[in-house]
Structure 1
Amino acid sequence: MNHDIHVLDCYVKQFLSRITCNGKAMDMGTTTKALRMLDFFSLTGPEIGLSQMTRLTGYNKATALRLLTELVEYGLVEQDSDTKQYRLGSAVLRLAHLRESSFPTRTVARPFMKDCVEQSGECCHLALLDGFHLNTIAVEDSSAHSTRVVIDAAVRLPLHATASGLAVTAFGSQALREWVQTEKLEQFTSSTIVDPAKLEPVLERVRTTGLAESPDGFEIEVHGIAAPLFDAKGLAIGSIAIATPSSRMNEELRQRIYAILLNASANITRAWGGSFPASFRQHIQT
């Protein structure tokens, strides 16, 4: 284990061991509660007060304050001395830099993302699987049109309502497919598919074409198309996606984006040291 990984391992273990209540170490459920608070910060809501955090999490004020205090102590969150609101701390940047330095997924993918933008004239984003959702880790914007999709990298992408999520679910582990079949799925728009019986044919179509589409499934007037990215075992662990205003989508653009994304998926997967499952290999140039 190299030095940076060892530091990260010690840092996280030290933080987890310090979450206490009445002098006693808390269980992992309480640790999860503390780390869950980080999910509520976003580009549209970069600062959150104690009362708002209490409402968002459902924790009582004393619990929320105690957990925020622990997050502040380790730099994961910081508090504005004037407004008393909380925002993400510098430790988040340090950990993100360490993650990228040790496993440069974003750096490796960036040139291929730029190619996607240049060839399509639309926004491109890269997402990685994290549990039963995806996190956007990189965005490349396009200046080709005055009207374009703006991606909030802080927003988690659901499996069932986004092109990225559908691409990963279709080619991912059995656990992902079971999750979308058994969980109560959130209805984001009138176009969101929440019925498992209707979702399965969509996933089968993704496996057949190698690509996923979500017209207005997560946001109105956003048409997303995505291709999966694979690990060494041939399981989808992320996606490369292009998003365009739905009003601009037509068959010519759709077919162009299909070709662009399949090529990008192949290049990024190879660059990451991944391999393609037999069901996807037919869609790419070898």
Structure 2
Amino acid sequence: MQSVLNALRVLEEVATRQPIGVADLARALDIPKSSAQRALITLQTAGWLRQVGGGSTDWVVTTKALHVGRHASGELSLRDVAVPAMEELRRRTDETIHLTVPENLDHMVLIERLETSKPVRIFMQLGMHLPLHASANGKAVLAASPESAVEEYLAAGLPRFTGTTIDDPDRLRAELDTIRTRGYAANSGEWRSDVSAVAAAVLGDAGLPVASISVNMPTSRMTGELAAEYGVLVRATAAQVGATLIAS
């Protein structure tokens, strides 16, 4: 049992501090160097770790960990279903399309991005965290979440990011009511002043939000008419993805 626990601890530590050598690893985990070496070889044999840099003794995590993690969170099947619908949404809007997932109803994580062909565009790295109350993706998910979860989020406070961030709980509750009525959320520079978007939640088989899809553009390009037009499109896209996920 101890050898299994050591191997799991080694895997977690390498993932956090990679690339890392056996001596530094043993020191960080407070285990004998021989125990760390055995765990590394075991994980290498199983395909979880590999050595890097020619004669180097540094270790890194392989892509096996990434694939297992995505399967555990359902992201691979979500991407498989969402990307074709996102491609169609991009074709109809020629704007950047994002797919995000909620993490512990604390923030959204960007997991897929389809770029616009327009020269002036926004850019966000995959893996970026988006605040729930100040992004269209986050507000769409909040509006589709149970009231108890919303109130828990509100109780933690609403940080202000720009001059248009909704940082008052009552105003945000009213905004969420509007989102529920029309079926999509809008953001006009509330997180980053140069970024605006409309988004809709993707609902899973329990009727709870598992993701959100958004149309994103520079704030200078977002008009009220475009927000309404793209809001209807993104709402239909999210509903399509949700229905396909439930049926699959």
TM-score, normalized by length of structure 2?
Answer: 0.75
**Would the aligned equivalents of 1:128 and 1:136 in 2 still touch at CA under 8 Å?**
yes
Give the aligned partner of residue 204 of structure 2. Answer: 231
- Partners of 1:265 and 1:256 in 2: how far apart? 15
Counting only pairs closer than 5 Å after superposition, residues 1-286 of structure 1 correspond to structure 2 as 18-19=8-9, 65-66=28-29, 73=40, 89-96=62-69, 98-99=71-72, 104-132=77-105, 133-143=107-117, 145-273=118-246
Paired letter, 1:19 = R
- Partners of 2:173 and 2:224 in 1: how far apart? 24
Q: Deviations 1:61-111 (Å, cap 9, x if unpaired)?
A: 9999449x99x95688889769x9998753443325645899611011111
- Partners of 2:243 and 2:233 in 1: how far apart? 16
- Partners of 2:193 and 2:18 in 1: how far apart? 26
Aligned pair in 2 of structure 1 residues 114, 102: CA closer, same or farther (>3 Å)? closer
Q: Deviations 1:3-62 (Å, cap 9, x if unpaired)?
A: xxxxxxxxxxx6798439xxxxxxxxxx9xx69x86xxxxxxxx9899xxxxxxxxxx99
> Structure 1 stretches of 5 or more lacking a match?
1-13, 21-30, 39-46, 51-60, 275-286
Q: Deviations 1:164-194 (Å, cap 9, x if unpaired)?
A: 1110111112343022221023333332222
CA shift for structure 1 position 147: 0.5
CA shift for structure 1 position 122: 0.4
- Partners of 2:198 and 2:75 in 1: how far apart? 29
Give the aligned partner of residue 55 of structure 1. Answer: none
**Would the aligned equivalents of 1:100 and 1:107 in 2 still touch at CA under 8 Å?**
no
Task: Tell me the number of residue pairs that the alignment of Structure 1 and Structure 2 aligns.
Answer: 227
Q: Deviations 1:220-259 (Å, cap 9, x if unpaired)?
A: 2100110011111212221111111000011332222012
3-state SS of the aligned residue for 1:233? Answer: coil
Paired letter, 1:104 = S
- Partners of 2:26 and 2:147 in 1: how far apart? 36
Paired letter, 1:157 = L
**Would the aligned equivalents of 1:211 and 1:226 in 2 still touch at CA under 8 Å?**
yes
- Partners of 2:140 and 2:235 in 1: how far apart? 12
CA shift for structure 1 position 148: 0.8
- Partners of 1:102 and 1:213 in 2: how far apart? 24
- Partners of 1:201 and 1:87 in 2: how far apart? 48
TM-score, normalized by length of structure 1?
Answer: 0.66
- Partners of 1:204 and 1:64 in 2: how far apart? 53
Aligned pair in 2 of structure 1 residues 63, 261: CA closer, same or farther (>3 Å)? farther
Aligned pair in 2 of structure 1 residues 197, 102: CA closer, same or farther (>3 Å)? closer
3-state SS of the aligned residue for 2:101? Answer: strand
Larger radius of gyration: 2
Task: Determine what percentage of the aligned residue pairs are the same residue.
Answer: 23
Paired letter, 2:225 = E
Q: Deviations 1:137-183 (Å, cap 9, x if unpaired)?
A: 2211111x100111211112221111111101111123430222210
Paired letter, 2:147 = Q
**Would the aligned equivalents of 2:70 and 2:76 in 1 still touch at CA under 8 Å?**
no
Aligned pair in 2 of structure 1 residues 215, 101: CA closer, same or farther (>3 Å)? closer
